[in-house]
Amino acid sequence: MATKTQLVRSKRQARIEQAVASPHYKWTVLVNATLGVLMATINSSIMLIALPDIFRGIQVDPLTPGNTSMLLWLVMGYMVVTAVLVVTFGRLGDMYGRVKMYNAGFAIFTVFSVLLSLTWLSGTAGVLWLIIMRVLQGVGGAMLMANSTAIITDVFAVEQRGLALGLNQVAGIAGSFLGLIIGGLLGPLDWRLVFLVSVPVGLAGTVWAYLSLHDTGIRQPAKLDWWGNATFAVGLIAVLVGITYGIQPYDGNTMGWTNPWVLAALIGGAAVLVVFCWVEMRSDEPMFHLALFRIRAFTAGNLASLMSGIGRGGLMFILIIWLQGIWLPQHGYSFETTPLWAGIYMLPLTAGFLIAGPVSGWLSDHHGARLLATLGMVVAAASFLWLLVLPVNFTYLPFSLALLVNGLGMGLFAAPNRAGIMNALPPNRRGVGAGMSTTFQNSAMVLSIGIFFSLMITGLARTLPQTLSSGLTAHGVAAADAAKIAQLPPVSVLFSSLLGYNPVQTLLGPKVLSALPAKDSAFLTGRSFFPSLISGPFAEGLAVAFAFAIAACLVAAFASALRGGKYEYKEHPASPSK
């Protein structure tokens, strides 16, 4: 019996070796891994545009003060869980096989996509169900993102790795913008389609990955670092939760940064992360290999990735609010249709990624990552400066060109930077190294949202209350009602714009509007009043946010320039070129 079993295993191993030896195998890996990452990143943003349809479907008003936190968790829960778990799943991939973890991620992601689309609850229970299912869907997404780049690195030689990782990386970044359009198209048809659209892709990808992908990387048998996993998860979750609640109003303040619970989460989370570093330095088999930071190319690349992610992450929200709340209504679009059109008008950004990413990845194979990645961040900073000097009610051509340049700059940076990071890793640490890199990238998204929203709210808070009060009273709204609206936190205005609601209609409510003359009511809820009203305060917030993005990109450029020359890890490497 043992002989027969050994024969079956021998034949199976021979088939695997034959498949892996095929010149087409590496391209099969690239296409499947890119499909997985694309699906995961599309789902990180697909709900942003479809949120109004989702909340209508489950009969919840997201702008009710008590529901604001649920709105944020529905948007950010997926990002938080992927940021926290990618290192753990990358480490497990190194230990037990990256393809196994990747295949499991595809299957888990698909199962919870189905459960999201089958939601039968409504009200608060419905939102809680969606949040929990999104978090669990994020577990599958973390498995995909943690292992896809390591699998690609395993099968591509260093002279082709930049192109391969560039295609994968750009597809991932472009996915976050494509999700806006897909969500905008499917949401009005049926909000369940926003989740159901991933199911056929997930099923096909799961079966295809199981049948065609094979582990070719070096495994590193080890025990799981339970203390490291626990302290990392607790610390990072606490920090990200603190950021999430910090942008919400608290005790009459426009934001919650003075909330004792927020301060406790941020300070306590940071303290636990310090403990995590202490645990990892003393662990024989750490989860987070701090020794990898001794590799200059790895450290500089991740710092550059973190800062570029902070500069890019909040951009999506700022552009959506700018387009939906101001520009599109002023150019003839109803508030209800602005979510979809905002995604369409942002397409030049995606086009820039798709053009620059593969080209820069191919060039980095021959010339290294430093020049291309550094130049990419400088170009991105210039594009933010271009956006900064545009008027709030801009002409679309220069706006679209600025978005295109931003996409080109980010695409020019992303592929070489990712290839530079992965080339610097020892073969037996590619899973955990990729997970560490993805943690920086995903954490940057949440951190960026907190920073950009805080900067925007700070800018709006200075002038928005007076502007709102005077504008409303000038058109017949009672002083008491206008003052009440003016005292609402600016985050309500931002969320209203983000969700594609008619802001004045939402803020005033039917009771106040019905008491006004029909002419005044129609003017206040029309497409020109609110955008014109907030253009000035919004411009102040926009200037601060874009100035921060410029600074973040320049820091990323400086970090990228410090990475050293072209460097590939070798088992007994000579000193890498400087």
pLDDT at 12: 57
- Over the Cα atoms of the chain, what is R_g? 24
What pLDDT shows up at residue 30? 86
Q: How many CA atoms lie within 13 A of 31 on its CB side?
A: 10
Residue 156 has pLDDT above 50, yes or no: yes
**424 or 218: which carries more pLDDT confidence?**
424
Give 575's pLDDT tier (boundaries 50, 70, 90).
Answer: very low
The overall average pLDDT reported for the chain is 80
For the chain, the maximum distance between any two Cα atoms, rounded to a whole number of angstroms, is 91
Read off the pLDDT of each residue in 356-367 and give the average, rounded to a whole number. 80
pLDDT digits (tens, 9 = 90+) for 69-126: 777 778 778 877 887 787 788 878 877 788 888 889 889 999 998 998 888 888 888 8
Residue 27 has pLDDT above 80, yes or no: yes
pLDDT at position 574: 40
Which residue type sits at 95? Answer: M
Q: What is the mean pLDDT of residues 526-552?
A: 83
Q: What is the DSSP string of 52-93?
A: HHHHHHTT--TTSGGGHHHHHHHHHHHHHHHHHHHHHHHHHH
Looking at residues 321-333, what average pLDDT do you find?
85
What type of residue sits at position 312? Answer: R
Q: What is the helix, strand, coil percentage profile of the chain, to 5?
A: 80, 0, 20
Q: Residue 572 carries which side chain, given as an amino acid letter?
A: H
Q: Are 516 and 477 in contact (CB under 8 A)?
A: yes
What digits encode the pLDDT tens for the residues 328-353? Answer: 888 888 877 787 788 889 889 888 88
534-554 CB burial, b ≥16 within 10 A, e <16: bbebbbbbbebbbebbbebbb
Confidence of residue 218 (pLDDT cuts 50, 70, 90): low
Q: Is the pLDDT of residue 571 over 60?
A: no
Encoded tokens for 37: 């990452």
At 302-313, the pLDDT tens digits run 889 889 888 876
Q: Could you identify the residue written with the tokens 């940071």? A: 270
245: pLDDT strictly greater than 50: yes
pLDDT at residue number 409: 92
pLDDT of residue 7: 57
Q: Which range among 141-145, 203-207, 392-396, 428-432 shows the weakest confidence by mean pLDDT?
A: 428-432
The pLDDT confidence band at residue 567, using thresholds 50, 70 and 90, is low
pLDDT at 572: 43
**Buried (b) or exposed (e) across 382-419, using 16+ Cβ within 10 A?**
bbbebbbebebebeeeebbebbbbbbbbbbbbbbbbbb
CB neighbours (10 Å) of residue 363? 19
- pLDDT (0 to 100) of residue 500: 65
Lowest mean pLDDT segment, chosen from 4-13, 179-188, 478-487: 4-13
- Whether residue 267 is predicted with pLDDT greater than 60 in this model: the reply is yes
The answer to whether 262 and 240 have CB atoms below 8 angstroms apart is: no
How far is Cα 163 from Cα 419, in angstroms, rounded to an integer?
Answer: 8
Q: Which residues neighbour 344 within 8 Å (Cβ) at sequence distance 6 or greater?
A: 181, 184
Question: Would the pTM count as exceeding 0.85?
Answer: no
325 CB-near residues (< 8 Å, 6+ apart) = 493, 494, 496, 497, 498, 503, 530, 531, 534, 538
What backbone torsions phi and psi does residue 219 show, to the nearest 5 degrees? -90, 150
Closest to 369 measured CA to CA, from 413, 317, 315, 404: 413
Q: Which H or E run includes 270?
A: helix 260-281
Where helices occur in 477-528 by DSSP H, the ranges are 479-486, 490-498, 503-514, 518-524
- Cα–Cα distance between 243 and 254 in angstroms, integer? 14
- Most confidently predicted of 12-16, 178-182, 344-348: 344-348
pLDDT category, 576, cuts 50, 70, 90? very low
Residue 5 token pair: 């079993």
Q: How confident is the model at residue 405 (pLDDT cuts 50, 70, 90)?
A: very high
Question: Is 60 exceeded by the pLDDT of residue 43?
Answer: yes
